[in-house]
Structure 1
Amino acid sequence: MFTDVLFDIDGVMLSEERYFDASALTVNELLTSSRFLGFESVAGTYRADLSDADITQIRQTVFQQDTVLEKLKNVGVNANWDMVYLVFVSELAHVLSTCETNSALRAAAADALRAGWHVEAMAQLGRVIRAHVGVPLVSYTHYDALYGGATTRDELFERARTVLQTLLGLELDDRKLWDIGQETFQEWYLGDAYTHASTGKLGFLTSEIPLVDPASFQSLLKDLVASGIRLGIATGRPFTETKVPLEFFGWWQFFDAAKVSTASDVLVAEQRAPSARPLSKPHPYSYLRSLTANDDTTALLRTSLPLPGKREQVLIVGDSIADALAAQRLGASFAAVLTGLEGASARPKFERLQADFILDNALQVRDLLLSDGVVASEAQE
């Protein structure tokens, strides 16, 4: 009998669409804004005042009609901050490939980054490149050239680190570059009202799209708690983006705050134990933290996995391969919901991963746990 249910948010409760939009806008800003590299782009150059049509056009260009998103998801990349970093590097690496035959550019680029990645260093790198080769036009067609054939998240990051080191002739802390992308993403997603900035970015917090009927899902959560089941969350969202929309839809009240793990918590853990990075999904850290309601990073990382006897007690509800892999490593059961990026077409992937259950949506958790043991849709069928 399940005693704990741990939910992912994006692709389960709320649509990922706005997160993907913000990711694309971030990548394009890093490449085209004068604050950063100042290149030109087939998706258009940076500005903050964008219509929905503009945002759609930029996303479809940056992520190649979402095929790049599917490729990232298929190798276990779950965090949008990771997506920003990886796609940005694939385009920057293409531009920097001219360094291999232009020694003056290579030397000047290396000099611009001698002190490491930071915003002014990126702006200086952009000026150097423009001075030596003119203003590059970013086409967003180079993802496969760098990452083609990669099968894991770790392999993607290793290729990104290696190509930058090779082209620049420098060993740089790529985490600093990742941080710049993360901070810029937060500006887009939260908007000026929450970041107290004056960028002109409105943010997306007030335009979240629920994937389930809010009242029906609230009823499900209420009934699960009433039946004695403990509820938790493990999400790639930071804390604010988790709490604000869940409060708006009336869901937050059913979760013990100690059993909610967000990207903010993962960042803290990585700062405490930098040698353990990355701790984002598919690493099971966030699910283990939520299950145990324990914030002791050292103790959690020393926990022997998979946990014995938890397949009958712990159910993870997610939409991604990263969630499935985390559940396997934790030793929990996994219910895949077909409301993520690929929708129902993701079913064969979850079948290959031997998901315990495959559900049309998160509301069918009721059938699993509260309806006389009736299972909505078993993966084996």
Structure 2
Amino acid sequence: MVSMILFDVDGVLLSEERYFDATALTLWEMLFSPTYLGLPGEPFETQPSEDTIRAIRKKVFVDDQILDLMKNRGINSNWDMVYLSFAHQLLCILEQLLPAHREEVTDIIQREITYDSLRRIAGLLKDQRVEIEYERFLTDFGQSAVEKQDLLLYLNDLVLSKLQVETHLFGATSSLWQLCQETFQEWYLGDELVVDNIGRAPTQQGKRGFLSDEIPIVAPQEMAATLSALQEKGITLGIGTGRPTVETMIPLQEMGLLDYFEADRIVTASHVLNAERERPEYAPLSKPQPFCYIKGWLGMQATTQQCMETPLPIIDVAETLLIVGDSVADLMAAQRIGCRFAAVLTGLSGQAARAQFEELGADYILDDMRQVVEIVGEEQN
């Protein structure tokens, strides 16, 4: 009988739309803002209109096809999405710079890519015009079957094929990944909150942030009724999310949902990052790695080492733990743990995701999180 349910947040409780918007805006800024690469042709602003945001996302992610590819390959973190999409465009730019600047391009790509590296590349771009073809992401990653965190490492293969240089610098622990992550946080949190979150002032000020503009998947009062009904059945409720702590707590608190979850079972991307810094040999730990769900199962008192040394699949967890998520990454994590998984069709692909979840063996496929009460009720009868 189910005794604990761990919920993902994005695509399950809260809409992913604003996260995808911030992902698109981060890519756009790093390509076209004079503060970063400063490519010509796209006027940059820190407070784009809603219509401009829609147009940018449609363009840079090719009608969300790029987002679909990443999600379907098991990438769940928007930080990873920003990194993959920007790093790929950077390699395409360097490929075009290669004939005229081979020595300098080779030197740049054999070192960690930092903010100074981007300014150095921006200097080369002043003398040469390059083309941005967002569709090339689909072609370059479509020719390989790599998935999960191996997608980040695949960037090293693309360096070799595009630039004829061997490197192993691309991955989730790189300087460029951190730069992309912090720039994303500037967009999502806005100027007022970002300093406490990343420990420095925004590189580019003037962003309002999206945190006060969250969209619930279903009406908050209906989610509250669902969570209350589960609590009444004696089920412990927790969270395993790719959101940082502040981006999890504030909207759920404002919607009156946070108190339904046990504080000891709320694991966020902030906890994942802290674990990676504490024990870098275990990185990466973001989904589809099951770390956040294992920690939620064991409780916050469990150390990183205890979580990582927990034998998988966990004995006897199949009947007691249920994970509720909207992504392939959540499903992969649940399968490694050995527990059951309920897929909700409220993520990026909506009802179109049903066939994929059926193929991958999800235990339950639900229209939205409200139906969790029904499947738990069936087991207890």
Amino acid at match of 2:143: G
Aligned to 2:57: 59
Residue type at the aligned position of 1:298: Q
**Given the alignment, which residue of 69, 72, 78 partners 2:70?**
72
Separation (CA, whole Å) in 2 of partners of 1:137 and 1:107 = 21
For structure 2, the residue ranges without an aligned partner over 5 or more in a row are: 196-200
1:215 counterpart residue number: 221
**Which shifted more, 346-355 or 191-200?**
191-200
1:97-116 correspondence to structure 2 within 5 Å: 97-102=95-100, 105-111=101-107, 116=112
For residues 347 and 222 of structure 1, what CA distance do their matches in structure 2 show? 27
Give matches, 1:1-381, under 5 Å: 1-40=1-40, 44-102=42-100, 105-111=101-107, 116-131=112-127, 134-151=128-145, 152-164=147-159, 167=163, 169=165, 171=167, 173-174=169-170, 175-196=174-195, 197=201, 199-294=205-300, 295-370=302-377, 373=380
The residue matched to 1:153 in structure 2 has which SS? coil
Unmatched segments (≥5 aa) in structure 1? 375-381
**1:19, 1:92 → 2: CA distance?**
22
**Percent identity (aligned):** 40
> Residue 286 of structure 1: CA displacement?
0.7
> Deviation of residue 129 (structure 1)?
3.4
Deviation larger for 88-97 or 358-367: 88-97
In structure 2, C-alpha distance between the alignment counterparts of 1:12 and 1:354, rounded to whole Å: 19
Deviation at 1:115, TM superposition (A): 5.9
- Deviation sequence 1:68-108 (CA, Å, 0-9, x none): 11111111010001111111122111111135533xx1222
Residues 113 and 121, structure 1, Cα contact 8 Å, conserved in 2: no
TM normalised by structure 1 equals 0.91
> 1:34 touches 1:123 (CA, 8 Å); kept in 2?
no
SS in 2 for 1:138: coil
Aligned residues: 368
Q: CA deviation at 1:109?
A: 3.1
Which secondary structure does the structure 1 equivalent of 2:238 belong to? strand
Give the letter aligned to residue 235 of structure 1: T
RMSD: 2.0
Q: What's the secondary structure of 1:78's corresponding residue?
A: coil
Residue deviations 1:328-375 (CA, integer Å, cap 9, x gap) = 00111000101111111111111111111111100111112246857x
C-alpha separation between the residues in 2 aligned to 1:194 and 1:101? 43
The TM-score with structure 2 as length reference comes to: 0.91
How many angstroms does 1:111 deviate by?
Answer: 4.4
Deviation at 1:144, TM superposition (A): 2.3
1:101-130 Cα distance to aligned partner (Å, 9 max, x none)? 33xx12223445676322122111221233
Cα distance in structure 2, aligned partners of 1:351 and 1:112: 45
Single out whichever of 88-97 and 7-16 deviates more from structure 2: 88-97
Secondary structure at the residue paired with 1:316?
A: strand
CA contact (8 A) 1:13 1:362 kept: yes
In 1, Cα distance between equivalents of 2:278 and 2:129: 41
List per-residue Cα deviations over 1:228-258 (Å, max 9, x = no partner).
Answer: 1111101111111100100011111111222
Instruction: List per-residue Cα deviations over 1:303-323 (Å, max 9, x = no partner).
Output: 110111111100000001111
- Asked whether the equivalents of residues 39 and 125 of structure 2 are also in contact (C-alpha less than 8 Å), the reply is no
Question: Which secondary structure state, in structure 1, belongs to the residue aligned with residue 149 of structure 2?
Answer: helix
> Which one-letter code corresponds to 1:233 in the other structure?
I
Letter of the 2:11 counterpart: G
Separation of aligned partners in 2, 1:366 and 1:144: 39
Q: Secondary structure at the residue paired with 2:312?
A: coil
Mean CA deviation greater in 160-169 or 317-326: 160-169
Deviation (angstroms), 1:226: 2.8
